[in-house]
Amino acid sequence: EVVLTQSPATLSLSPGERATLSCRASQSVSIYLAWFQQKPGQAPRLLIYDASNRATGIPPRFSGSGSGTDFTLTISSLEPEDFAVYYCQQRSNWFTFGGGTRVEIK
Amino acid sequence: EVQLVESGGGLVKPGGSLRLSCEVSGLTFSVAWMSWVRQAPGKGLEWVGRIKSKSDGGTTDYAAPVKGRFTISRDDSKNTLYLQMNSLATEDTAVYYCTTDGYCSGISCYSGVDWGQGTLVTVSS
């Protein structure tokens, strides 16, 4: 099983700041990594697929990078609605999710 | 607009069974690959299983913790996905989400392109 480790567990930032979230895989997943956003009481929403492609309707302040075992989700300038929990998911070897990073208001 | 509406959740005793349904609209359901993803209270996301379209073989795949106990099926005439859950245990307590698979390449797709609102399953005596 591919284990995805997300860091940090919690990120405390202010609106307008840049957020950088990390996802590390226990073995190479090539580019087959996605990022999801989940707000309290809501279903997750797909943001990024294939490491760097934005899903339909996702604003350009969200970007992804990486390949192999190390991936990054960057939010260039945090909007109030971006404070949420973010999960990575790999589909290279079945499906697994990371444990999540909470982005909270500082 | 794609809409997924789950139903069938509730309280069940350990060892019991439950069937969840997911009614889908806004896409051609018969060609869609569909998945179930669950989330235990206060925890992260866990993929449960997937069913391919009949034109792609209609095969199912399951995560290890549910294999042999859960069965995914579909009724394309009703645009509905099902999750039959047997031999339920307390660790199966979770919100169960129905999702569409997409952004495919090669022989695989991502699970979780569109999501329902989820249905809560509580396994407790």
Radius of gyration from C-alpha coordinates of chain B: 14
Nearest to B108 among A45, A87, A91 (CB): A91
- Tell me the pLDDT band of A78, cut-offs 50, 70 and 90: very high
CA distance B107 to B119: 29
Residue A29 confidence (pLDDT): 95
What pLDDT shows up at residue A76? Answer: 97
Query: Are the Cβ atoms of B117 and A43 closer than 8 angstroms?
Result: yes
**Res B82: pLDDT:** 98
Q: What's the average model confidence in pLDDT over B78-103? A: 97
pLDDT at B40 exceeding the cut of 90: yes
Name the residue of chain B whose CA is nearest to A6's CA.
Answer: B44
> Residue B123's closest CA among B62, B44, B40, B63?
B40
- Give per-residue burial for B73-112: e unless 16+ CB within 10 Å, then b: ebeeeebbbbbebeebeeebbbbbbbbbbbbeeeebbbbb
The whole-number average pLDDT for the span A61-86 is 98
* A50:B108 CB<8 A: no
| Nearest C-alpha in B relative to A93 | B108
Position B96 confidence tier, pLDDT thresholds 50, 70, 90: very high
| Chain A contact probe: residue of B45, B47, B62, B109 with most A CBs at under 10 A | B45
Percent of chain B with pLDDT over 70: 100
Determine the pLDDT at residue B105: 86
Residue B16 has pLDDT above 90, yes or no: yes
Chain A residues near residue B63 by CB distance under 8 angstroms? 94-95
- Contacting residues of A for B2, CB less than 8 Å apart: none
Rounded to whole angstroms, the Cα distance separating B118 from B105 reads 27
Q: Supply B65's token pair.
A: 């913790």
Give the model's pLDDT for residue B107. Answer: 76
Please provide the DSSP assignment of chain A as one string: ---EEEE-SEEEE-TTS-EEEEEEESS--TT-EEEEEE-TTS--EEEEETTTEEPTT--TTEEEEEETTEEEEEESS--GGG-SEEEEEE-SSS-EE---EEEEE-
B111–A97 CB contact, under 8 Å: no
Mutate to test the interface with B, among A91, A96, A102 (most CBs of B within 10 A): A91
**What pLDDT is stored for residue B106 in this prediction?**
76
Q: In a 3-state reduction of DSSP, which class is residue B57?
A: coil
- What chain A residue is nearest to B120 in terms of C-alpha separation? A41
- Single out the residue of A84, A62, A83, A82 nearest to residue A73, CA to CA: A62
Q: At A44, phi and psi to the nearest 5?
A: -65, 160
- Work out the minimum CA distance from B117 to partner chain A, whole angstroms: 6
Between strands B18-25 and B3-7, the pairing is antiparallel
Minimal Cα distance from B106: which residue of A? A92
pLDDT over 90 percentage in chain B: 94
Residues of A in contact with B115 (CB under 8 A): 43-45
Q: How far lies B67's CA from each of B9, B24, B36, B50, B87, in Å? A: 20, 24, 13, 12, 11
